[in-house]
A and B are shown apart, each in its own frame.
Chain A
Amino acid sequence: MNEDTAGLTAQDTAPFRRLHPLSILMKSTTMLGRNIIAIIVLHFSLFDRNIAYTLLAALALITLVAGVTALIWSRFTYQVTDREIRIKSGLLNRNNRSIPFDRIQDVSLEQNLFSRFLGLMTVKLETGAGGGDDDGQLDALARPDAEMLRDTIRDYKDGLSADETAADDRLVAAETPPLFAMDNRRILIAGLFNFSFVLLAIFGAVAQNLDFLLPDGFFDPRRWIEALPEQEAINSISSEIRIIGALAAILSLVTIGLVSGIVATFVREYGFRLDLVDTGQRGFRRRRGLFTRTDMVMPIHRVQAAILQTGPVRACFGWYHLKFTSLAGDANGETDHSAAPCARLAEIDPILDQCGIHQAPLDLEFGRVNPAFWWRKAVFAGLIITAIALGTGFFLHPGFQAISLLALPVLLILFLNWRHHQYALDDSQIYVRSGWWRRKLTILPLRKIQSIDISQSPLDHPLDLATITLGIAGGSAIRPLKIEAIGFAKAMDLRHRLLSRITMPPTAG
């Protein structure tokens, strides 16, 4: 009784607070940044390069944006009581949300480049409810306030009173050696395998937005077709030079891919550090980011499954990417939490140990699925490719029949995918491997299985095959954990073995 009334009074008296005033500056700047291209476009088009009009429009925009942002700021208040956080927001549609600490899965702190200058931090509260950012976001607080809020929530979950522990456990976390950290050399290695054309896409987007700077009709194919006759000039060049030119083009593409991969990885993973925080409730604390620095704590008992990702080349060098499936998704729409982007197996072991997951023992035998997994798809792919090749070859140009050559690599990839789709079961965990290019090993503790499906499509009936789908809390809804093309009797047997271990009284967690 006493505690209850005390709780009530604390709730009533807790002050309503506002976000940090500097966040107005921050938000309006980002919003202006988005509109600056519009202003530039207007400058060239509607205002006919009249600088006075443009300045006037810019001024109007700035006042409007700043005014609205300030208004929104003034109507946004939050209240931290001893068991929940309440957020009141909205100009016209008032919204009064209360998030009990019990329901908060993750608290992450985020700083981008600009907010780091201003000493601000964004607090994101994940409740595991669908809909990403809408859960609860305080954008932004002064850094000490944000850290205190995180510690309040964490302490509540530890069952501590929120007073004295907050300050010193931060110190402890800073002193202990990290569970896993990446230096610049490691990030470079990770980047090498992160081959991507992101930069190319960005250049493309910029070119699209700035196309008024390019000569008229730059994207008009007719113009280029007209320019084609000049190709005759190129044809007269010796074949060696042409080959060199083609090689140079390929090389530059590869370089762009490599460089953009490295840059993207550096931006995301710079200063990567995974710590173990242990204040009654153990959790992983991850800090990373070059411009946008994120600081996230994930309680260990929320870890549902571990995923080890690698590729054919990476596997040769022994590098793996460790991810955890947890109830709440990671930032940027990733469904799994990255825990070690580029690590050796020996480095991954201690991290897995912390959450009671172990690697597959060396003598564990992985079972392959039925070969129908690849030849059935191969038959369809072959039919489709042949149809396309014949169709285009017949109607358009006989040269298109060369499309049928595509069938070879497609068949090869399907076959390799089958070779790499394997599963194994031991006393407490199930292991599923999939993919040849994106190799993925999922380690799922049996006690985390929520449901088991055995499904058969019409094509499965004659071959007596089935697909097993395991329901896990969290992870991707589009690509759930599956064992495909396994014999029906085998599937039933596997499920029986899984169930006999699930329905036993579950161990803690």
Chain B
Amino acid sequence: MIIRAAILLLVAVVAEIALRLQLGVEPGMVLIPVILFAALIVFILPGRIYRRWGYDMGDEQLRILRGFLWRTDTIVPFNRIQHIDVAQGPLQRLFGLSTLIVHTAGTHNSIVTLPGLATANAEEMRDTIKDHIRQDMI
């Protein structure tokens, strides 16, 4: 998010300069709204989006909620899962977090990810799900 906001600001600065040279627009016409928008992206949205992330391990299924404006609520039955990954990026390793990645045979939703779990938690979930995976599900 911070990176995206930074890129947006950079583009805005370029646009501002270009517009001033070409058309002589008042300074700040472009920059100020963009700064406000970037502040929104950096300070408010992540919290909202984080609050919308949720998961629920049922007895038979994994349910994942995500998205703030575009909300999605996914359910994957355990016996439809093909295989599972527990992945860690460098930043995540720093904070002891992991991403649980679940693969289904479906063309839509073939990969369902659940980021930001404590590593021990993610591994425990993987082991639970693993017991439910059986062969010849397709």
- Tell me the dominant secondary structure on chain B's binding face: mixed
Residue-wise, chain B 61-79 has the 8 Å CB interface mask toward A (1 for contact) of 1000001011111111111
Q: Closest A-chain residue to B78, C-beta based?
A: A503
Contact A471–B110 (Cβ < 8 Å)? yes
Say which one of A67-75, A260-268, A452-460 lies at the interface with B: A452-460
**Contact residues of A between 425 and 456, Cβ < 8 Å to B:** 449-456
Q: For the complex, what is the distance from the CA of A458 to the CA of B107, rounded to whole Å?
A: 25
Contact B107–A506 (Cβ < 8 Å)? no
B54 at the interface (CB under 8 A from A): no
**Contact residues of B between 83 and 138, Cβ < 8 Å to A:** 104-110, 112, 137-138
Contact B70–A469 (Cβ < 8 Å)? no
Q: For the complex, what is the distance from the CA of A450 to the CA of B103, rounded to whole Å?
A: 10
Known pairs A451-B112, A456-B70, A503-B60; A472 contacts B107 (CB<8 A):
yes
Contact B107–A503 (Cβ < 8 Å)? no
A499 at the interface (CB under 8 A from B): yes
Known pairs A472-B106, A473-B138, A474-B107; A453 contacts B77 (CB<8 A):
no
Contact A480–B138 (Cβ < 8 Å)? no
Contact B106–A450 (Cβ < 8 Å)? yes
Selected A-B contacts with CB under 8 Å, 16 pairs: A451-B104, A451-B108, A453-B73, A455-B73, A458-B69, A469-B108, A471-B104, A471-B106, A471-B110, A472-B106, A473-B105, A495-B75, A502-B77, A503-B60, A503-B77, A506-B137
Beyond A454-B72, A480-B108, 13 additional contacts (C-beta under 8 Å) are A327-B105, A450-B105, A451-B75, A451-B77, A455-B73, A458-B69, A461-B71, A470-B108, A473-B106, A475-B108, A477-B107, A499-B77, A503-B78
A302 at the interface (CB under 8 A from B): yes
Q: For the complex, what is the distance from the CA of A415 to the CA of B121, rounded to whole Å?
A: 49
Known pairs A503-B79, A506-B79; A477 contacts B74 (CB<8 A):
no
Looking at the complex, which one of B67, B79, B107 makes contact with A476 (CB distance below 8 Å)?
B107
Nearest-CB distance from B106 to chain A (Å)?
A: 3
Q: Closest A-chain residue to B68, C-beta based?
A: A458
Known pairs A457-B70, A458-B70, A503-B61; A469 contacts B77 (CB<8 A):
no
